[in-house]
Amino acid sequence: MTFKASITHNGAVLLGRHVACDSHDAHRPLRVVTHAHHDHLNGLRRSVRKCQAVVMTPATRDLLGVMRTHLPHRTDNVKTLSYGETLAHEGEKLTLHPADHILGAAQVLVEDEHGARIVYTGDFRLSNTPILEADILVLEATYGNPLQVRPFRKVVENALVSLVESALKKGPVCVFGYHGKLQEVMQMLQANKVKVPFIAPEKVFQMSKVCERYGMRLGKILSADEDEARLILERNETHVAFYHMNSKRHVGLDAFRVCVSGWEFSGPCRQVASNEHVVALSDHSDFEELLEYVCESRPRLVITDNYRVGDAEVLARHIEKRLGIPAKALPAWLA
């Protein structure tokens, strides 16, 4: 069965005979982008030039339009599929299904001419992700280590909101995270009636506007380039600023800082400096949730993603040991 699915040494997740996901493959006419995070966009410009179709959800297409660096100006072969919509190609059917990760994230189902169901989860958080039945399951392995569990995940939102509300009594707050997670924090603060202005650099601002067009309620957001935002910043008035994690070393050094990270397992919130806390907000499943997905999907074979960051080999061993399902980590790197 392994010939029906594999992962190449440049990170392409191969499903069936025609589909490559999240990296370019020169032999596959269809390229799927599961979501708009950098480690799933390998070779995208080449795919746009070479593939018959580059497939993604409409929301992912709009987010990539803001990111610009990954799509060339001419995108005639970019095809958007809504969740549940099917694309047929030479005897195989390709369908995208929801994944709770960032806006537009998708699971990929390929059904071949013999009825085999080949599923790639992409990155996902189990809470609001439908579990797809699969004959072959390609599974993300970000938190594939049995030590990487979060029994406290239901209290993370309250911890985050309380931390920000307390800090705002003393001055501005800077939140650092990745695209998608920053907007999730905005939505949490908005839902909990945190009524201060939100300020974001232009790219984060534009990404947030896309999220709002797809129904996320994010509160009042100002671009840092606007006069109103500049005045708030100059006067050091109360606000929450949202920055990409890559900016962490350069901005907000004197402000109260909150970093949202899935790589935190000790508790919902941890102080790491006098003015800085890490909050354990993750958009990935933890170890136990990954096993739960496999158990309910009931595959005959599991392939764990050994290209992207994670513990694919450890996860594969535990799937075999605890669930009795054959599993292997791919690609198999040589020592």
Residue range 64-119, pLDDT digits in tens: 999 876 676 667 899 999 999 999 999 999 999 999 999 999 999 999 999 999 99
pLDDT for the residue 249? 92
pLDDT of residue 75: 75
> Going by DSSP bridges, is the β-strand pair 276-279/256-260 parallel, antiparallel, or unpaired?
parallel
- How many whole angstroms separate alpha carbon 324 and alpha carbon 264? 29
Per-residue burial over 251-272, b = 16 or more CB atoms within 10 Å of its CB, e = otherwise: ebeebbbbbbbbebbeebbeee
CATH number of 153-279: 3.40.50
End-to-end CA distance of the chain: 26
Tell me what pLDDT residue 315 has: 98
Average pLDDT, the chain: 95
pLDDT at 335: 44
Percent of the chain whose predicted confidence (pLDDT) is above 90: 94
Give pLDDT tens digits for 281-323.
999 999 999 999 999 999 999 999 999 999 999 999 999 999 9
Interatomic CA distance for residues 138 and 45, integer angstroms: 24
pLDDT of residue 3: 74
Would you state the pLDDT for residue 8? 97
- pLDDT given at position 334: 56
Token pair 């339009």 is found at 65
With CA atoms as reference, report the closest residue to 163 among 142, 208, 207, 194. 194
Q: Is 1 a residue whose pLDDT tops 60?
A: no
Q: Name the 3-class secondary structure at 42.
A: strand
Sheet holding 276-279, edge to edge: 221-223, 198-200, 240-244, 173-177, 256-260, 276-279, 269-273
* pLDDT, mean of residues 186-191: 97
Task: Residue 237: count other Cβ atoms within 10 Å of its Cβ.
Answer: 12
Q: What is the pLDDT of residue 41?
A: 96
The type of residue at 321 is K
Q: Could you report the per-residue pLDDT of 7-63, keeping only the tens digit for each?
A: 999 999 999 999 999 999 999 999 999 999 999 999 999 999 999 999 999 999 999
Query: What is the CATH architecture assignment of 2-147+284-330?
Result: 4-Layer Sandwich (3.60)
Angle between helices 58-67 and 202-213 in degrees, nearest 10: 160
- Show me where the domains of the chain are located: 2-147+284-330, 153-279
Rounded distance between C-alpha atoms, residue 1 and residue 220, angstroms: 51
The two domains 2-147+284-330 and 153-279 share their CATH topology (first three levels equal) = no
pLDDT for 125: 97
Q: What is the DSSP letter of 322?
A: I
Cis bond upstream, residue 331 (ω within 30)? yes
Residue 21: CB partners within 8 Å, gap ≥ 6?
A: 12, 13, 14, 15, 31, 32, 33, 34, 108, 120, 122
pLDDT given at position 73? 65
